[in-house]
Amino acid sequence: MKRILVAVLTVAVLVGSGAGVVSAYAGARRTAPATSCTAIADLPVEALSQAEKDALVTTLQEEYLARDMYQAIIAKLGSTRPFTNILKSGEQHVAALTALFTKYQLTVPADTQAARTSTLMAGITTVEDALKLGVTVEKEDIALYEELAKVVDNQDILQVFGNLKAASIDRHLPAFENALAGGTGIGQGAGRGGRGVGQGSRGDGFGQGMRGFGTGSCIAG
């Protein structure tokens, strides 16, 4: 019996040591802060003020712009990180806002950002130029969501606005800034969207991977 117990303890020690070695080589990992997320379909349909309707249109057009710009950068400079990762996230952001239009039975406005995208892209000739533009756009997005949150009180709209702002603050902006500093873009991560599970986008740089998008309800990527 003693021999068996000693053998079990020895295996446990070896397994523990192996895990320690793996952790040591893996290095410190950043993890996204835990956030609660309720599916927007489960939040009440509340009366919409004109200011809230305008805020939805403004933010959707801004997300159209970001998506269109990252598509144009990839078309011009090739498929490079972090643009390819953040483009996927941008498409999710458009879908999240579109889901709010659908929930409130509003007509989804067409993308009217072609001219603005063309103007912004006119001065882009290098990856560094594109990264700097990415920093500018993400900072503008953060400021926009902070400002428009002041005229919104519907729970579902506030949740989506908050999650989209957090994506810019916690993932997109750091990815661009890190790439400008010589890093390689977005790090790794995996997460959940409301009522859905997504796979994290892997990379070697600073920041969190994009988290999954469920049903237009919880965006954190």
pLDDT at 42: 74
> What does the buried/exposed string (b/e) look like for 79-106 if buried means 16 or more CB atoms within 10 Å of the residue's CB?
ebbbbbbbbbbbebbbebbbbbbebbee
pLDDT at 184: 54
Condensed to tens digits (0 to 9), the pLDDT of residues 97-132 reads 999 999 999 999 999 999 999 999 998 999 999 999
CB 99 within 8 A of CB 217: yes
Pairwise CA distance, residues 162 & 142, whole Å:
10
pLDDT at 182: 85
* Segments of the chain with pLDDT less than 50: 1-35, 186-217, 219-221
pLDDT at 18: 39
pLDDT at 40: 74
pLDDT at 37: 58
pLDDT at 38: 64
Condensed to tens digits (0 to 9), the pLDDT of residues 140-153 reads 999 999 999 999 99
- Domain spans in the chain, listed from the N-terminal domain onward: 49-221
What superfamily does domain 49-221 belong to in CATH?
A: Ferritin, core subunit, four-helix bundle (1.20.1260.10)
Pairwise CA distance, residues 18 & 12, whole Å:
10
